Structure 1
Amino acid sequence: MQVIVRDQDGIARRTSGSTTLDVPDRITLRDLISLRVREEVARYNLRPSVVFRGMVQPADAEPVDGAYRLKHVRPLDWQKQARIAHESFEHNGFFVLVGERQIGSLDEVLVVEPSTEIAFVRLVPLVGG
């Protein structure tokens, strides 16, 4: 089944357009993140460039306008990127909303329907004086 996935920053602004993912009716958050990362990396690896638009910052890349600029064009490893995403979730780098409900664990089983919207919300560090 297809669900809508979107990215937001910590103040509820969309940081990229929406995309759809084909997912089973029941999926753990860990598997959902892995699926998303695998598809992003597969799209990139079809046409590698110095700019990667995806959830996880690759090694040796720097953030630029909602994407990451790599120092060298190279294929990316989706499994490595997925592990980084899982660790980022566990260390509060982002959280996930399914509908209006925040998901608390990578191993939580999500029950999705065609109308389900999933938001990946990246937390923005506070700047202080």
Structure 2
Amino acid sequence: MPLITVTDEVVGAPSRPAWTVEILEEEVRLDELIRRRVFLEIAESGVDADPEERTRTTLDAFGRNAFVVLVDDRQVTALDEKVRLHAGSRVTFLKLVPLVGG
């Protein structure tokens, strides 16, 4: 199965470790990709959390522009947009930091 790389980044902060994830399909909607990312984080962390509630919170944060999603350096802007993935794709969840005083 093809492998993709998923990373979390915060503007101005050191990069965090990346995950390598197997994918089964070539196209997936952004909201589904975010849901999978949330489930992966919960499974990896061992935290007792409701993944569906965490997904709703994360999707809401995306709607408020708290973070952007880049797939192979292309920003995906709509939750219903289909994202094309291939072996070696890099998916970056980039958290935005508001300007001080603005």
Kindly state the Cα deviation for residue 128 of structure 1 after the two structures are TM-superposed: 2.6
SS at match of 2:28: strand
Identity of aligned residues (%): 31
CA distance in 2, matches of 1:14, 1:90: 25
CA distance in 2, matches of 1:126, 1:15: 20
Whether 1:78 and 2:30 are equivalent positions in the alignment is: no
Kindly state the Cα deviation for residue 127 of structure 1 after the two structures are TM-superposed: 1.3
Bigger CA radius of gyration: 1
Tell me what 1:64 maps to. Answer: none
SS at match of 1:3: strand
Kindly state the Cα deviation for residue 44 of structure 1 after the two structures are TM-superposed: 3.0
Greater share of residues in helix = 2
Whether 1:38 and 2:49 are equivalent positions in the alignment is: no
CA distance in 1, matches of 2:89, 2:82: 14
Query: 1:1-129, aligned counterparts within 5 Å?
Result: 1-11=2-12, 13-23=13-23, 24-45=25-46, 48=47, 75-128=48-101
Give the alignment's TM-score, normalised by structure 2. Answer: 0.87
Count of residues paired in the alignment:
100
Structure 1 runs of 4+ with >3 Å offset: none
SS at match of 2:49: coil
Kindly state the Cα deviation for residue 22 of structure 1 after the two structures are TM-superposed: 2.2
Give the alignment's TM-score, normalised by structure 1. Answer: 0.70
Kindly state the Cα deviation for residue 10 of structure 1 after the two structures are TM-superposed: 2.5
Task: For CA contacts below 8 A with separation 6 or more, give which structure has more relative contact order.
Answer: 2
Tell me what 1:56 maps to. Answer: none
Give ranges in structure 1 of 5+ residues lacking alignment.
49-74
SS at match of 1:97: strand
Kindly state the Cα deviation for residue 14 of structure 1 after the two structures are TM-superposed: 4.6
Give ranges in structure 2 of 5+ residues lacking alignment.
none
